[in-house]
Amino acid sequence: MLTTDVIMKVFPAFLLVLCRISAFFAVAPVFSTRNVPKTLKIGLAFFVSVIVFLTVGFDTKVTADATYLLAVFREVLAGLLIGYVSYLFFAAVQTSGAIMDLQIGFGISNIVDPLTGVSAPMLGNLKYMLTILVFLTMNGHHYLLAAIMDSYQWLPLDNALYSKIADGGLSDFLVRTFADTFMVALQISAPIVVAMLLTDVGLGLLARTAPQYNVFVIGIPVKILVGLALLIVLLPGFSALFQMVFDYMFRSLHQLFTILKNTPA
């Protein structure tokens, strides 16, 4: 039977678990979108925290002393790191769409993304929504929940996250992951970029051989038609491409857990 003394002993550990899970849901893809009700986010974070606490919470004694506030910040930072790394790959897909929009000529016509509530390029918004659909189809949200729950095997409540940050390995990993995701964005948008470059070369040759044609007038619709035609051709292969991006994302999460793995002090 639970008594007040027992509850007061286990509550600090449960609060640490809740801090990490809540911070993860605040930035993780799919769960952090605006169309997910806040009540659902809070309730899901609470119930996942209860499940995790019943699994790992009683194994670690947490004392609410002067260092407890640092432990709270440490758990919040751990949840933000896990969610941020997973969100980087979704941002890479949206960045690739922004690069495509810039080359085709849609860069001046941004729209409001209903998932994030911010202004986003049209093709970037389209590819981001396709990414969400593919991610949900392959049960990627289940893998994300499993990742945050399994993170306590690599990064328990008595972890040494601050020392890992001081070592510099975590900063190097984040910089490399950011660079890799930007490279992924360039690779996804490469066919459109190359096609638009060739189109510009063709328009330049047309301007030299037939000066009577106004390249600035006919160039914009030509680039839009070529870009949309090539996008239609490439669209069926996006699902397999996104699955490769998700595989890379989960490998990066595993690498993050390996870097943050707890070592005895």
Helix (H, G, I), strand (E, B), or coil: what is residue 120?
Answer: strand
- Report pLDDT digits (tens) over 173-229: 888 998 999 898 888 888 888 888 888 888 888 878 877 777 777 877 888 888 888
| Start-to-end C-alpha separation, the chain | 35
Helix (H, G, I), strand (E, B), or coil: what is residue 248?
Answer: helix
265 band by pLDDT with thresholds 50, 70 and 90: very low
What predicted TM-score, i.e. pTM, was given to this entire model? Answer: 0.81
120 band by pLDDT with thresholds 50, 70 and 90: low
Query: How is the chain split among helix, strand and coil, in percent rounded to 5?
Result: 80, 0, 20
Range among 57-66, 124-133, 227-236 with highest mean pLDDT value: 227-236
Residue 216: which region, alpha, beta or left (left: phi > 0; alpha: psi -120 to 50)? alpha
- Report pLDDT digits (tens) over 24-36: 988 888 888 777 7
Given a cut of 70, whether residue 105 has pLDDT beyond it is yes
Summary mean pLDDT of the chain: 80
What is the domain partition of the chain in residue ranges?
Answer: 4-259
Given a cut of 70, whether residue 58 has pLDDT beyond it is no
Given a cut of 80, whether residue 254 has pLDDT beyond it is yes
Rounded mean pLDDT, 231-239: 83
Report DSSP letters for 152-182, one per residue: HHHS-TT--HHHHHHHSHHHHHHHHHHHHHH
